[in-house]
Amino acid sequence: MTQLPRTPSFRLEGKRALVTGAGRGLGLACAAALADAGASVTLAARTAQEVEEAAAAIRTGGGTAAALVLDVLDVAAAQRAIAAAEPFDILVNNAGTNRPRSFTDVSVEDYDAVLDLNLKAAVFVAQAVASGMIAAGRGGSIIHMGSQMGHVGGANRSLYCASKWALEGLSKAMAIDLAPHRIRSNTIAPTFIETPMTRPFFEDAAFRDSVLAKIKLGRLGTVEDVMGAVVFLASPAAALVTGTSLVVDGGWTAD
């Protein structure tokens, strides 16, 4: 009798996940997706009310979630908080920002704001979580929220592109360093997603039209478009996937 292979599980029961920037938008969607898949999720963000309400909403929906008020820009405090927690099996390194400016208008303050949050904080949150994973000895999955702008350039996005290209390189190098510990490192690279942070930009009809002209599938992304990618990379279904980028861009980077 033919023995059929079994599809690996996408379920995450028994796994602990940390999601940064989890109070709203993509971060909240990632946390909800992981909780739906069975993970116990810790939602981290600076704003206490926002992250506590988000965690409560997940619990109301039947998931397991806790809030952690955390400013990832305070590297020492973030590392202490992560070290004090039980080890995590999954990290979604999601906290990020953007300051769209023409390159000639970029200021030192802009540079610090974008690179400190999008790159520096991501490095040291990941380091703290990876250290806990190594000590626990059960492997893990680190998922960085990259962007299609980590694969291409874009007008008025010199700093954002710099941070997201750097995140791609970081993730690949982490994948090599952490592979002996069975810890995987990948990025998700979405196109423009409608979130509270991005919605004001789309009120400019010319900008919206220019974006839609490049997305081959003809629509803006939604947070739901990213949720499946997060669950896949966190799950046993992606057991051999590390050091790569899952590009969720509607075909933007296809040409």
pLDDT confidence of residue 200: 87
Chain centroid, CA 165 distance in Å: 14
Q: What percent of the chain has pLDDT over 70?
A: 100
Query: How high is the mean pLDDT of the chain?
Result: 97
Report how far residue 43's alpha carbon sits from residue 186's, in angstroms, rounded to the nearest whole number: 20
Spell out a b/e string for 115-151, using b for 16 or more CB atoms within 10 Å of the CB, else e: bbbbbbbbbbbbebbbebbbeeeeebbbbbbbbbbbb
Q: In what order do the strands lie in the sheet with 64-69?
A: 64-69, 40-45, 16-20, 90-93, 140-145, 183-190, 245-248
**pLDDT, tens digit, 9 for 90 and up, residues 131-166:** 999 999 999 999 999 999 999 999 999 999 999 999
Do the Cβ atoms of 186 and 242 come closer than 8 Å? yes
Q: Under a CB-based contact definition with an 8 Å cutoff, are residues 85 and 66 in contact? A: no
Q: Given this model, what pLDDT does residue 199 score?
A: 85
pLDDT of 197 reads 72
pTM: 0.96
- Report, as an integer, the average pLDDT of 210-238: 97
Contact between residue 45 and residue 51 where contact means Cβ atoms under 8 Å apart: yes
Active site residue 160: yes
- Reported as a single tens digit per residue, the pLDDT across 23-58 is 999 999 999 999 999 999 999 999 999 999 999 999
Whether the pLDDT of residue 89 is over 80: the answer is yes
Task: Indicate which residue of 20, 21, 160, 232 is catalytic.
Answer: 160
Q: Give the tens place of pLDDT for each residue, 194-215.
A: 887 788 889 999 999 999 999 9
Tell me the domains of the chain and their CATH numbers: 16-246 (3.40.50.720)
pLDDT class of 61 with cuts at 50, 70, 90: very high
